[in-house]
Amino acid sequence: MARTIGISGLGIMGSAMGVNLVRAGFRVLGYDPLAAARRSLARAGGAAVRSNGELARRCEVVITSLPSAAALASVAQELAKTARRGLPVVETSTLPIEAKEGARRVLARAGATLLDCPLSGTGAQARTKDLAVYASGPRAAVRRCVPVFEGFARANYYVGAFGAGSKMKFVANLLVAIHNVAAAEAMVLAMKAGLDPAQVYKVVGDGAGGSRMFQVRGPMMVAGDYSDATMKVEVWQKDMAIIGDFAREVSCPTPLFQASAPFYTAALAAGRGKQDTAAVCAVLEEMAGLKRMPARRKAAR
């Protein structure tokens, strides 16, 4: 009989995990405050439930994918009311460690085990199972969840005690922030020099100058279209703040990370909050006085 997995939070990442777990043969139950998100899971072969408490009662493992510390605190309280002793709760969001510690304590009092398991990858990567799980917490509980990780991710790593997963994610996202802006800067330089952005993406991406962010977000920069967001600028601002706070907490200088931050802020100020973070390319294009012709945009697609 298929294991029953619950997902709390059916946004970009949570919905993609749900679809892939269904495809992997799991029975998937999900809850989200938005009815449209619940209906989407049902269309994908999962089943929507009426509350987080129902997930805790009916599922062998619960995954949380949430937008804020406040949301995690609320969901933890709901899960704790009905959680069975030993229930693993896999927390995949990017949030401050102290927020996760608070949720861990709430669930521990109910006998459930919160695992800190952030994900490395964009929403587009999540849809194709191209994610890495940074799992931290009690090793035995993590081991129980490995088959679940394999249902929605290409790789999973046990990185240590609770909180180590978040620390690893902060390091990964620091690189994402820098590499994304670096990719945009290179694209704008290429276009100012008269090179074809589609050819730049193909040629440079195949050489030493390529990066995962160049590979993932380059096509959006080539097309000049950032509407199909895999990470919205407005959400990314939350991640940037968390990384900055963490770096200051451990007294670590992050000059390149700090240099990348104004471009995301500028994208937000330009009304691009709902767009993908690759929209920093548009910010740099404007700074460079670069005007792309509509026909060229269409051809790039």
**42-57: pLDDT as tens digits:** 999 999 999 999 999 9
Question: Could you tell me if 116 and 63 are in contact, meaning their C-beta atoms sit under 8 angstroms apart?
Answer: no
Q: Is 131 left (phi over 0), alpha (psi -120 to 50) or beta?
A: beta
Question: Could you tell me if 174 and 264 are in contact, meaning their C-beta atoms sit under 8 angstroms apart?
Answer: no
pLDDT of residue 265: 98
The one catalytic residue among 100, 169, 274, 291: 169
| Nearest of 286, 172, 191, 190 to residue 231 by alpha carbon | 172
Helix 255-269 to helix 280-287 angle, to the nearest 10 degrees?
90
135 forms beta bridges with 158
| Domains of the chain with CATH codes | 4-162 (3.40.50.720), 167-300 (1.10.1040.10)
Examine the residue annotation and report whether 167 is marked as an active-site residue of this protein: no
What confidence category does residue 2 fall into, taking pLDDT thresholds of 50, 70 and 90? low
Token pair of 146 as six digits: 């490995």
- Encoded amino acid at 148, one letter: V
Question: Could you tell me if 15 and 40 are in contact, meaning their C-beta atoms sit under 8 angstroms apart?
Answer: yes
Mean pLDDT score of the chain: 95
* Torsion angle (degrees, nearest 10) of CA 222, 228, 231, 232: 100
pLDDT of residue 39: 96
Question: Is the predicted pLDDT of residue 243 greater than 60, yes or no?
Answer: yes
